[in-house]
C-alpha cells in the first residue's frame, strides 16, 4: 500500500533549528496540529482546526480523512514529527528524475553523482552548473518539490502531489515562528530513508 506523503522541511542547514517542543508549540498555536495520538505515539499528531485552511487543496472536493477514530489508517491524514537529524540528509521522491539550475533552468539528471560529491563534504560542497557556470550549494538548486536537503522535517501522511499544496500563509508563519526557511516536497514511504524512528516511549 502506498503512503503518499507531503513533507514540510527546514532548508536551514548551518544555523540553529527549532527544538521539537518549540516546533510543536508553533504548530499548535497555528492550529495546524492538534493533540498527539497517545502517550505511546508522542510525535504523531491529529490535524488541527486550521489544517484545512493552511493547505490548499486542488481539484474538486478532495476527500480528506482526519478523524483517527473513524478513518481507515491507510487513508488517514495525520502528522509525524521527527527529531532533528544530526547531519543533513538528502531525501527524495521515487519519481525524482532531474533537477534544474535556478539561474538558467539547465536541467540535469545526474543527481546521484552530485549526491556522491555532497556526501564527501556536506557543509561545503558546491555544485557548478555546466551551462551558466553558477556555483551554489545543492539545496539552492530547483528540485521541483521532489527532493530535499534537510535536518528537520514534518511529515503529513496521505496527501499526494497534485492534490494538496501548503499555502503561503503557512510557510510565512513557519518562517516567522521558527526563524528557519521552509519548503516542501512529495514522496512515498519516506520512513524507509530515515535514520531515526519517531519517539515512541
Ligand atoms: Zn545554470
Domain spans, the chain:
4-93+144-193, 97-142
| The pLDDT value given to residue 10 | 96
| The pLDDT value given to residue 201 | 38
Segment 112-147, tens digit of pLDDT: 999 999 999 998 999 999 999 999 999 999 999 999
Cβ atoms within 10 Å of 134's Cβ, excluding its own: 16
CA dihedral sign, ordered 6, 153, 188, 67: negative
CA–centroid distance, residue 97 to ligand 1 (Å)? 17
Segment 141-154, tens digit of pLDDT: 999 999 999 999 99
| The pLDDT value given to residue 156 | 94
CA–centroid distance, residue 132 to ligand 1 (Å)? 4
Segment 8-23, tens digit of pLDDT: 999 998 889 999 999 9
CA–centroid distance, residue 118 to ligand 1 (Å)? 18
CA–centroid distance, residue 111 to ligand 1 (Å)? 15
- β-pair partners for 81: 154
CA–centroid distance, residue 38 to ligand 1 (Å)? 48
pTM: 0.90
Residue 11: HSE in the Cβ half-sphere, 13 Å Cα cutoff: 17
Q: Which residues neighbour ligand 1 (ion) by CB within 5 Å? A: 101, 103-104, 106, 129, 131-132, 134
Q: Is the pLDDT of residue 200 over 70?
A: no
Amino acid at each position: 500500500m502506498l503512503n503518499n506523503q507531503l513533507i514540510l522541511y527546514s532548508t536551514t542547514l548551518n544555523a540553529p533549528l527549532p527544538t521539537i517542543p518549540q516546533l510543536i508549540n508553533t504548530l499548535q498555536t497555528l492550529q495546524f496540529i492538534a493533540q498527539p495520538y497517545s502517550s505511546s505515539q508522542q510525535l504523531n499528531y491529529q490535524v488541527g482546526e486550521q489544517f484545512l485552511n493552511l493547505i490548499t487543496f486542488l481539484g474538486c472536493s478532495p476527500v480528506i480523512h482526519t478523524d483517527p477514530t473513524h478513518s481507515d489508517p491507510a487513508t488517514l491524514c495525520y502528522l509525524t514529527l521527527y527529531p532533528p537529524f544530526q547531519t543533513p540528509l538528502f531525501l527524495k521522491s521515487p519519481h525524482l528524475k532531474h533537477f534544474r539550475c535556478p539561474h538558467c533552468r539547465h536541467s540535469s539528471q545526474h543527481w546521484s553523482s552530485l549526491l556522491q560529491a555532497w556526501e564527501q563534504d556536506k557543509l561545503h560542497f558546491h555544485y557548478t552548473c555546466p551551462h551558466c557556470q553558477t556555483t551554489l550549494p545543492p539545496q539552492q538548486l530547483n528540485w521541483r518539490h521532489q527532493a530535499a536537503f534537510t535536518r528537520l522535517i514534518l511529515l503529513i501522511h496521505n496527501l499526494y502531489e497534485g492534490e494538496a499544496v501548503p499555502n503561503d500563509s503557512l510557510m510565512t508563519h513557519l518562517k516567522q515562528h521558527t526563524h528557519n526557511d521552509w519548503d516542501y516536497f512529495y514522496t512515498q514511504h519516506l520512513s524507509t530513508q530515515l535514520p531515526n524512528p519517531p519517539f515512541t516511549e
